Amino acid sequence: MRTTAVVIGAGHAGLAMSRCLTDRSIDHVVLERGEVANSWKTERWDSLRLLTPNWQSRLPGYRYSGPDPDGFRTMRETIEYIERYAEVSAAPVRPNTTVIAVRRRDDGYVVITDQGEWRCRAVVLATGAFNLANVPAVASEVPSSIVTITPLQYKNPEQLPPGGVMVVGASASGTQIAEEIHRSGRPVTLAVGEHVRAPRTYRGRDIEWWMDRAGVLDELYTEVDSVERVRHGRSLQLTGSDDRRDVDLNALSGIGIKLVGRLAGIANGKALFSGSLRNLCQMADLKMNRLLDRIDQWAAETMDSGEVDPPHRFEATRVEASPPVTMDLMSGAIRTIVWATGFRPDHSWLDVDVFDRKGRIRHDGGVVESPGLYLMGLPFLRRRKSTLIDGAGDDARELSAHLAGYLEASAAERRARPVLSSAGLA
C-alpha cells in the first residue's frame, strides 16, 4: 500500500497532525494499534480528570464549546472529545494496526504493520510520550511480599491489597494517586524527589489561565537554557476537581499523608530515604514563587487594577524537623509500592539511525535527523505546552508546513535528476 505520509498514533497529537495534512491536501493515513484515544481508554486510572481546564484543549479546527469552560474533563469526557475530533476531521484512521517497524527505503520509508506494509515519503511519530513507566533500578530490591504497580497499571484503590502504601514520586500522577489511596482509608507514605509546586488558583484565576495568558506555555524550545533538562522536567503538582483543591505537599500532609525524602535505595529490606526533603521543598517553593513573580509582572503590565485579586504568596512547604530516613519494608506496614517516577516514550520499533547514546531520538523541534521523519507530542518538543492537548495545534501546524516543504523540495529534486537512457548508460 502506498500513501504520501503515514502518521503513527491516533491520540490527539496524531489527529492534530492529520487535520493539518488534510488542510494541505497531503494524502495520508493514521495507523493506530488500538482505537482512537487508546491511551486514555487503556492506560489511565478511573478517577483521573484532566488537570487542564476544558477551554484549554484547543485543537486545529476544534475547541470546547460546552457550558463549563473552567471545568475539568473526566476520562469518559476526554475520550469522547478526542473521538469527536477524529470524526469531525474525518481523520483517515486505520485502527487495530500495530506498527512493528519503520525503515528508510529509497527516498522514503516503509512502515511495517501487523496488517501489511505501507510505502510513503514522510512519517510522523505521534505514539505518545508516556508509553512506558520509568521504574528505578532499586525496584529489584523490593521484598517479594510487597505488590508493586505503576500509574499505567493503577485503576483504583480497590485493586490494591489492604494496608499501607508507599507512593514514590510527587509530581502530578504521584500526588493525585497518593491522595486517592489515602482517601480510601489506607495509610500512605509519599517519597518526595524533585518536584514542581503550583497552586490550582492564584489571584482568583486558574494557574493554567495565567500560564497561558502570560505566555509561559508558549515559550519555545529555542528560548530556554538547557532544553534537554527542561524536556525531562517534572509535571506540576495539580489535579482537576470541582472544588479546585490543591495537591501540593502542604495539602497532602494536611490530610495525613506521611512525607519522606527521595527513595535513595533499599538494603536488607529497609527503604533508605535521602535527607534532602527540606532542600527539595525549598527549591520547589522558590521556583513556584518565581512563576508567581512572572505572572504578577505580566498582570501589572497588561491588566487593570481590580481585574484580578491582589498578589500574595503561599505558605512555605511544611517539612517535619527530622523526617524518617529509613523504613522497614519487611514489617508488613507497607503492602504496596506505586512507582510514580515518570514515563518515557517507546520507539523500539523505529529502525532508523536517529537515536543518541541515551536512546533518545535526535531532532530539532520535532524535525528528526532523517529527512521526512517527524515527531509529535514529546515534552517541550517545540514549546512548553507541546505535551498538552492544547500544545499539539501549533506544533502540528509548523511541522506539517515543514513536511509539505520537504515533499515539494524532494519532488523537485527527483524531477531534476538526469534520466539515464540506455544510451547514456553505455
In the complex, the smallest distance separating the C-beta of residue 113 from ligand FAD, rounded to whole angstroms, is: 7
Q: Is the CB of 127 or the CB of 175 nearer to ligand FAD?
A: 127
In the complex, the smallest distance separating the C-beta of residue 127 from ligand FAD, rounded to whole angstroms, is: 4
Q: Is the CB of 203 or the CB of 347 nearer to ligand FAD?
A: 347
Distance CA 128, CA 86 (A): 17
Q: Look at the block and give the residue holding cell 495539602.
A: 251
Task: Name the residue number minimizing CB distance to ligand FAD.
Answer: 11
Say whether 292 sits in a helix, a strand or coil: helix
Distance CA 397, CA 384 (A): 16
Distance CA 186, CA 337 (A): 12
Q: Is the CB of 151 or the CB of 193 nearer to ligand FAD?
A: 151
In the complex, the smallest distance separating the C-beta of residue 12 from ligand FAD, rounded to whole angstroms, is: 5
Type of residue numbered 141: E
Q: What residues have CB less than 8 Å from 182, skipping those under 6 apart? A: 188, 252, 255, 256, 257
In the complex, the smallest distance separating the C-beta of residue 80 from ligand FAD, rounded to whole angstroms, is: 14
Type of residue numbered 320: E
Question: How are the residues of the chain apportioned to helix, strand and coil, as percentages rounded to the nearest 5?
Answer: 30, 20, 50
Joined together, the cell numbers standing for residue 254 give: 494536611
Give the closest residue to 374 by CA, choosing from 365, 384, 387.
365
Query: Residue 190: how many CA atoms within 13 Å on its side-chain side?
Result: 34
Give the closest residue to 39 by CA, choosing from 150, 132, 143, 120.
132
Q: Is the CB of 99 or the CB of 399 nearer to ligand FAD?
A: 99
In the complex, the smallest distance separating the C-beta of residue 56 from ligand FAD, rounded to whole angstroms, is: 7
In the complex, the smallest distance separating the C-beta of residue 424 from ligand FAD, rounded to whole angstroms, is: 43
Identify the DSSP state of 321. S
Q: Is the CB of 50 or the CB of 299 nearer to ligand FAD?
A: 50
Say whether 207 sits in a helix, a strand or coil: helix
**Contact in structure between 39 and 403 (CB atoms under 8 Å):** no
Q: Is the CB of 112 or the CB of 138 nearer to ligand FAD?
A: 112
Q: Give, in order, the Cα–Cα distances in Å from 386 to each of 59, 321, 363, 393.
A: 12, 39, 14, 9
Residues of this chain that interact with ligand FAD (CB under 6 A) are 8-14, 31-34, 38-40, 44, 50-52, 98-99, 126-128, 130, 173, 349, 377, 387-390
In the complex, the smallest distance separating the C-beta of residue 48 from ligand FAD, rounded to whole angstroms, is: 6
Q: Is the CB of 11 or the CB of 372 nearer to ligand FAD?
A: 11
Q: Is the CB of 8 or the CB of 354 nearer to ligand FAD?
A: 8
In the complex, the smallest distance separating the C-beta of residue 237 from ligand FAD, rounded to whole angstroms, is: 13
